Amino acid sequence: MFTNGYKKHIPFHLYLDEKIYFVTARTIKGKKLFNCDVKLNLLESRIKMATKKYHTKLHAWVVLANHYHLLFTLKQGIKLSDLIRFVNGGSSHLLNNIDNTRGRKIWWNYWDVCVRNEKDFWAYFNYIHYNPVKHGYAEAECDYRYSSYNYFKNRTRLIPLFFCLLAPLVLLPFN
């Protein structure tokens, strides 16, 4: 039940101000509960609301039927757990209203990594955008709507294989 003093399903979280985080949250048992446009829009909207409410800079995101990935800068004094609670709690409530399943638990937990350097940043950035292809939701990154991929593609007017070319356009706190 416990590994290194922690419950297996509760990873240790490290909270640092003004740092970039890669976050993954997964539904319970990987159930594909966000299985239509209405539900995917709901989750994507909740993520965007959270970034505004908590004054976070969202660098990349993807929303899939049973999980999501985020890459963002956590501002000073903001608790990562509060932001995730806002996303997961709010999306659970709204999804349960749609499905008429009051009280159903949606989210298992979340995993976060504090991004150490620019190389890690671009690795997570590319991982996020390739995720719909990896899981069979799209043939190419640009074919999937619930991702930041097309935002960057349209913003730069490029179709890069790797977004590393965008580095000058995104201000990163690595020094």
Distance CA 33, CA 92 (A): 10
Instruction: Kindly report the pTM of this predicted structure.
Output: 0.82
Distance CA 127, CA 69 (A): 9
Which pLDDT belongs to residue 6? 46
Number of neighbours of residue 136 by Cβ within 10 angstroms = 7
Which pLDDT belongs to residue 37? 98
Distance CA 63, CA 81 (A): 19
Residue 55 carries which DSSP code? T
What is the number of helices (H) and of strands (E) in the chain? 4, 6
Q: pLDDT tens-digit profile of 91-113? A: 999 999 999 999 999 999 899 99
Domain boundaries, the chain: 16-169
- Phi and psi of 78, rounded to 5°? -95, 130
Nearest to 39 by CA among 51, 27, 29, 50: 27
Residue 75 carries which DSSP code? P
The CATH code that applies to domain 16-169 is 3.30.70.1290
Q: Which residues have C-beta within 8 Å of that of residue 95, sequence separation ≥ 6? A: 33, 34, 39, 42, 43, 106
Which pLDDT belongs to residue 110? 92
Nearest to 47 by CA among 27, 29, 69, 32: 69
> Mean pLDDT in runs of 10 for the chain (175 residues)?
50 69 97 98 97 94 98 89 96 97 94 92 95 96 94 64 44 41
Which pLDDT belongs to residue 18? 74
Q: What is the largest CA-CA distance in the chain?
A: 50
Nearest to 91 by CA among 60, 66, 72: 66
